Amino acid sequence: MFSYVFTVQKFLIAFSIAQILCPIADAVIIKGTTSYRDDAFADAASSTGSPLIYGGALSISDALSGSDLTTGVEFVGAETVQIDFIDNTIKNIAGNDLVIFEYGANPETISLTVGSMESMSIVYASVFSFQEGGTNINEIRVDLNDFGIAMGNSVSSIFIKVGDSAHKPEISGAASLEPIPEPGQYALIFGLAILGYLLLRRKA
């Protein structure tokens, strides 16, 4: 009994140490009801033509990179906006892989090009939305299967155009839906490893 209590105590200490050693536990950004990895968001952007920049962003890249969904670009014509992922990629996992955030009360249609798939007009029958900075943000969820990307493969750039010339979308950003590794699982693994080490040392 004594050694059992002793082991549990050691495990709890090891688990606590492991939690401290796992900074990944805090690396989460929540938008709406979804948790994103802190590197999931777009890292750079550029455009043909001159879409309007809103939210006080300094450039198209500033407007579309990062997790601030109060900044973005509004299409004015036939420009193509390129969004790039640098410290992460968009990987084809099971289900949806990518979220494009569109700003405003009414969700608008976009034309999206991914990889070698020319283009595809996307009309959103079911769009998730949430509030940020007092404004409605629509989530355009995309499955790379629809663009001929094989499961497990990744892309680093996406291209957006107006889908319906009567309605000009405002794009606030984009993010990968690749799941976040469970910090608890990491802490448990590290905790068990530390415990094993301590037990082995005790036996030696």
Q: Which residues bind Ca ion (CB under 5 A)?
A: 39, 43, 68, 71-72, 87-88, 92, 97, 143, 172-173
CA pseudo-torsion sign 100, 104, 109, 110: negative
* Closer residue to Ca ion (CB): 111 or 145: 145
The residue whose Cβ lies closest to Ca ion is 71
* Closer residue to Ca ion (CB): 18 or 155: 155
DSSP E strands in the chain: the ranges are 28-31, 34-37, 44-47, 52-54, 72-74, 81-84, 90-91, 98-103, 110-114, 117-122, 128-132, 135-142, 154-155, 157-162, 170-176
Query: How far is CA 85 from each of CA 6, 62, 157, 194, rounded to the nearest angstrom?
Result: 48, 13, 6, 36
Distance in Å, CB of 27 to Ca ion, minimum? 12
Listed in sequence order, the DSSP H helices in 58-169 are 60-64
Distance in Å, CB of 104 to Ca ion, minimum? 13
Distance in Å, CB of 75 to Ca ion, minimum? 15
Distance in Å, CB of 99 to Ca ion, minimum? 12
Distant-in-sequence, close-in-space partners of 135: CB < 8 Å, separation ≥ 6:
70, 103, 104
Q: How far apart are CA 153 and CA 93, in angstroms?
A: 8
* Closer residue to Ca ion (CB): 5 or 94: 94
* Closer residue to Ca ion (CB): 5 or 95: 95
Distance in Å, CB of 130 to Ca ion, minimum? 15
* Closer residue to Ca ion (CB): 18 or 42: 42
